[in-house]
Chains A and B, each alone.
Chain A
Amino acid sequence: MKSLLLAAAQLAADPAESDVLAEALRVSGIGMLGIFVVMGLFACMIMALTILFPDSEGDA
C-alpha cells in the first residue's frame, strides 16, 4: 500500500508521466465506449437483416 501511494505521489509530481497516463485513460475510456457502440450497432443491424429477410422455406 505504501509503495502504491509512493508511486502515485511520484506520478503526480511528474506532469509528463501523468499526462501520458491521462492520455492512456482517455484512449481506454473512448475505446471501451467505441467498442460497445460499434458492436451494439452490429447487433441492431443483424436484427434488422433477420427481420427484412426472414428464413423461408428453401432459402435456409
Chain B
Amino acid sequence: MDQMFAGLLDLTSGQGVMILIGGVLIWLAIAKEYEPTLLLPIGLGAILANIPGSAAIGADGEPGILTLLFDMGIRTELFPLMIFVAIGAMIDFGPLLQNPKMLLFGAAAQFGIFFTLCLAVYLGFSLKEAASIGIIGAADGPTSIVVANRFAPHLLGPITVAAYSYMSLVPIIQPPVIRLLTTAGERKIRMDNLHFRPVSQRTRILFPVVVSVVAGLLVPSATSLIGMLMFGNLLRESGVVDRLSRGAQNELANIVTIMLGISIGAVMTADQFLDTRTLMILGMGIVAFVFDTAGGVVFAKTLNLFLKHKINPMVGACGISAFPMSGRVVYKMGLEADPQNHLLMHAIGCNVGGQLGSVVAGGLILALVG
C-alpha cells in the first residue's frame, strides 16, 4: 500500500510547481496555440520528469525513456540537426535569391544575441552560460539547443522553453518595438522600386551547395548546422527526390519534433529549473528578441541615409529567424500603415535571410566561445 502512494508521499513542493508549469505549457499550446508542436510535448515531458521516482527518467540505475531519448538525440545533437534538414526542405529561398541584399538584415537582426550575451555576463553568468542565453535571440530553437547543449547543458530547459515561447510571441513582442523606432511616414515607405530578378533553377540548386562549402570553410564550427539546413534545401530544389523532400518536410519533421519536445522535458526537473536564474533567463530572452528587432530596424534606417530607393525600416525587423511569423507581422503592419503597401516578398526574403543569419551566429558563437 505504501509503495502505491510512494510517488504522492515523496512529492516535493518543487516537483508540484514543475508539474503545474508543465500544465501551463500544455495549456499555452492548446488554448493559445503558442508553438503547440513543441510546447505540448515539452509540457508533458516536464510533468513526467517531475513525478517522484519516475520510470520515465529512470529507476534502479536504468535509464528511462526520457533519459534515453535525451542522451541519444539531444546530447549527441542529432535531433536539432535532423530538424534543420526538415526546415531546409520546407524553406523556399526564392525571395532571398531574388533580392540578396536582404541577407544583410539577417545579420543586423542578430544584434540581440550579442547584446544579451554581454548583459548576461554583466549579471554574473559565465561566458559560456551567457553565450547560451544570448543565442535565444537567434529565434531559432535547434540552434539554441545545439549551443546550450555544448556550453551550458544545465540551462538547456529554460533556454529551450524561452526560445520556443518567444518565437510564438513574435506578433506581440515585435510591433511595439517597431512602432517605437519608426515614424508613421517611415512605415508607409513603399518598396515597389526594388527589382526582383528572376532566379534560374541552376542557381537554386547551386545555392545550398555553395553556401555549405563557403560557410564550412569560413566557420567550420557551423558546418553541421548549415550543412543539414542546406541538405534539406537541396532535396527540395534538386527536383529529382520529391519523395525524400516530402519525407523530410513531413515524416522526419513530425517524428523528430515529437522526440525532441518530450526529451527536452527530461531536463526540466525541479532542482534544475526552479531557480532565480531561470527567471533571469526568461527575462533576458525577451531582451534578446527586442534588441534583435531594434538591430534590424535601426540598420534599415541607417542604410536609408545613403540609399536612393528607401527601404521600409519595418522590413529590417524580419531579419530575425522566427519564420514566417516575423514576415507576416511586418506585412500586416505595412498594410495597416498603407492598405496598398504590399511588403510580403521583401519581408519574407528578409525573414529567410534571418534563418541563415541565426545559424551563422550560432556557428560563430561556437567558434569564438568554445
Cβ-closest chain B residue relative to A24: B121
**A12, CB-defined interface residue at 8 Å:** no
- Docked-complex contact B131 and A35, CB < 8 angstroms: no
A-B contact count (CB 8 A): 125
Bound-state Cα–Cα, A20 to B126, Å: 8
Provide the main secondary structure of the chain A interface: helix
Q: Are A32 and B97 in contact, CB atoms less than 8 angstroms apart?
A: no
Q: Is the CB of B206 within 8 A of A49?
A: yes
Query: Is the CB–CB distance between A34 and B364 below 8 Å?
Result: yes
CB 8 Å contact bits of B179-222 with A (1 = contact, 0 = none): 00000000000000000011111110011001100110011000
The reply to whether A55 and B114 contact each other, CB–CB distance below 8 Å, is: no
CB distance from A18 to the nearest CB of B (A): 10
Any chain A CB within 8 A of the CB of B365? Answer: yes
- B327-370 vs A, Cβ < 8 Å mask (1 yes, 0 no): 00000000000000000000000000100110011001100110
Partner of B118 from A7, A25, A43 at Cβ < 8 Å: A25
Most chain-B CB neighbours within 10 Å: which of A7, A23, A25, A38? A38
Interface residues of A in 35-52 (CB under 8 A from B): 35-47, 49-50
Is B107 a contact of A47 with CB atoms below 8 Å? no
Is B101 part of the contact surface with A, judged by Cβ < 8 Å? yes
A56 within 8 A of B: yes
Residue in A7, A11, A21 with the greatest tally of chain B CB atoms within 10 Å? A21
On whether the beta carbons of A24 and B117 are closer than 8 Å, the reply is: yes
Chain B contact residue count (CB 8 A cutoff):
46
**Across the interface, which residues of A come within 8 angstroms of B110, CB to CB?**
32, 35
A36–B101 alpha-carbon span in the complex (Å) = 11
CA distance A41 to B203 in the complex (A): 16
**How far, in Å, is B199 (CB) from chain A's closest CB?**
6
Determine the interface band of chain A, counting residues with CB < 8 A from chain B.
35 or more
Q: Is the CB of B361 within 8 A of A21?
A: no
Is A28 touching B115 in the complex (CB atoms < 8 A)? yes
**Neighbouring A residues of B100 by C-beta, 8 Å:** 42-44, 46-47
Question: B164 contacts the other chain (Cβ, under 8 Å)?
Answer: no
Given A21-B122, A24-B117, A43-B103 in contact, is the A38-B207 Cβ separation under 8 Å? no
Distance of A14 from chain B, by nearest CB (Å): 11
**A43: min CB distance to chain B, Å:** 4
Question: With the chains together, A27 CA to B77 CA distance in Å?
Answer: 24
Chain A residue at minimal CB-CB distance from B118: A24
Given contacts A41-B214, A46-B207, contact A31 B113 (CB under 8 A): yes
| Interface residue from B101, B200, B215 paired with A38 (Cβ < 8 Å) | B215
Residue of A nearest to B93 (CB): A46
Contacts of B270 in A (CB 8 A): none
The reply on B142 being an interface residue by CB < 8 A is: no
CA distance A45 to B96 in the complex (A): 12
- Alpha-carbon separation in the docked complex, A7 to B124 (Å): 12
Interface string of B68-108 (1 = CB under 8 A from A): 00000000000000000000000000001100110110111
Other than the given A42-B211, A49-B97, A50-B199, 15 more pairs (CB < 8 A) read A21-B121, A24-B121, A27-B131, A35-B357, A39-B360, A40-B104, A41-B214, A43-B100, A46-B100, A46-B103, A49-B203, A50-B203, A55-B199, A59-B201, A60-B198
18 residue pairs A–B, Cβ–Cβ below 8 Å: A21-B118, A23-B127, A24-B127, A27-B131, A30-B368, A31-B113, A31-B114, A34-B360, A34-B368, A36-B107, A39-B360, A40-B107, A49-B202, A53-B200, A53-B203, A55-B197, A55-B199, A59-B202
- CB-CB nearest 8 A-B residue pairs: A28-B114, A55-B198, A46-B100, A24-B121, A53-B202, A39-B107, A43-B100, A35-B107
User: Which positions in B face A, CB cutoff 8 Å?
Assistant: 96-97, 100-101, 103-104, 106-108, 110-111, 113-115, 117-118, 121-122, 126-127, 130-131, 197-203, 206-207, 210-211, 214-215, 218-219, 353, 356-357, 360-361, 364-365, 368-369
